[in-house]
Amino acid sequence: MTITERFLRYAASDTQSDEHARSMPSTPGQMRFAESLTEELKALGLHDVSLDENGYVMATLPANTSRTDVPVIGFIAHMDTSPDMSGRDVKPRIVAYTGGDIVLNESLGIVLSPDVFPELNHYVGQELIVTDGTTLLGADDKAGVAAIVSAMEYLLTHPEVEHGTVRIAFTPDEEIGRGADRFDVARFGCFGAYTVDGGELGELEYENFNAAQAVVTLRGRNIHPGSAKGRMINASLLAMQLNDMLPPAERPETTEGREGFFHLTEMTGTVEEARLTYIIRDHDRALFEKKKETLREAVRRINETYPECCTLDMRDQYYNMREVIDRRPELIQWARQAMEAAGVTPIERPIRGGTDGARLSFMGLPCPNLFAGGMNFHGRYEYLPVPSLQKSMETIIHLCHIITK
């Protein structure tokens, strides 16, 4: 089976996660896919294939080298697709891209255009896997799953390629922030691992945001407006006042690169009660802590005027994995060498987001992120250049071999 055929088969499975569910995995489709994947890995001849009650799949490719000092490395991808758009009845197709617009769905007038997505121009002359415009594609991260499984199949059928012990894992619920919740790092047993969950060809990511979520609740006093003077406290207006205390230059729409932000993700409000939900991000730990203190100060200022009307519930979500990965620089050097051996130029830049690798790094498994090749994740305009998917697989193969040198 070619890697393209494998991806197309995976894409047909509905594995969309559900942030409102309390189970793990959060949807039955993920467990069905995990069961199918488990049987596939056994059929390929991998060892120690397992599926636990939470939907984590693990397996081992035994070493074929006589060296005893080769570290065990791992590769990880997630099985779920984003709740942002339907992943049911995905109808992928392959187009030979010659430039210009790609009509995804003629009857609905849905077009993938380089006028909106200029990166398409980089892929003229290549085969692209696209949607029919009514669902996402699922390259995030079934491209990563396909690349890992295909690389293991290649190494099993090409014993002349020397490699150490390789561990692989496929996780549920990454898209809703739970992919690392019950990951057994000790059982995985690796010196380090790589999530294969990046996008563009060549992405090598080992630096991400420090992240926190904050919920501000403001309680007002609702009085009939005809007799409200001096007595009414409008919680919604206080919420607007608090938001105005945060620096307007530190929002997602005004920042880039390593610049952090406050992002208001949800707001509800009446006169009686209002609620603001923020995510806070910064690559620099000190600036991250300063941003959290800025929000605390805004809450204090509101409470100085209106005592005890404003409460803050803030929790850290994850941290910049570079703090951990800098202690194992060989993981990055091996990845660079593997990409170059595959004819790929590494693109090293900070992630303006987070990955399971960030949480796993702080759980004791240093885990940079490698490209899987997909573009425009989480929506109807998602596409996957076939050569990029192939290069992802080749990078994994070279990585397994380079570590033995």
Model confidence pLDDT, tens digit, residues 183-212: 999 999 999 999 999 899 999 999 999 999
Question: With bands split at pLDDT 50, 70 and 90, how would you rate the model's confidence at 382?
Answer: very high
pLDDT in tens, 127-158: 999 999 999 999 999 999 999 999 999 999 99
Per-residue pLDDT band at 405 (split at 50, 70, 90): confident
Q: Report the percent of the chain where pLDDT is more than 90.
A: 92
C-beta atoms surrounding 349 within 10 Å: 14
Active-site residue, from 174, 205, 282, 356: 174
Average pLDDT over residues 296-320: 96
Out of 3.30.70.360, 3.40.1550.10, 1.10.1040.50, 3.40.630.10, the CATH code matching 210-317 is 3.30.70.360
Listed by start position, the domains of the chain span 3-207+321-402, 210-317
How far apart, in whole angstroms, are the C-alpha atoms of residue 69 and residue 10?
Answer: 36
Query: Is 174 annotated as catalytic?
Result: yes
378 is annotated as contributing to ligand binding = yes
Q: Is 175 annotated as a binding residue?
A: yes
To the nearest whole percent, how much of the chain has pLDDT over 70? 100
What pLDDT sits at residue 72?
A: 97
- Given this model, what pLDDT does residue 84 score? 86
Is 40 annotated to bind a ligand? Reply is: no
Average pLDDT over the chain reads 96
Taking alpha carbons only, the member of 215, 145, 183, 240 closest to residue 360 is 183
pLDDT for 307 equals 95
The pTM for the full model equals 0.89
CATH for the 3-207+321-402 domain, from 1.25.40.10, 3.40.630.30, 1.10.3720.10, 3.40.630.10: 3.40.630.10
The answer to the question of whether 304 is labelled as a binding residue is no
The candidate with the shortest Cα–Cα distance to 400, out of 73, 14, 49, 44, is 73
State yes or no: 78 annotated in a binding site: yes
Confirm whether 127 is a catalytic residue. Answer: no
Catalytic residue, candidates 14, 80, 141, 282: 80
What gap in Å lies between CA 171 and CA 81, rounded to an integer? Answer: 11
The pLDDT tens digits for 25-76 are: 999 999 999 999 999 999 999 999 999 999 999 999 999 998 999 999 999 9
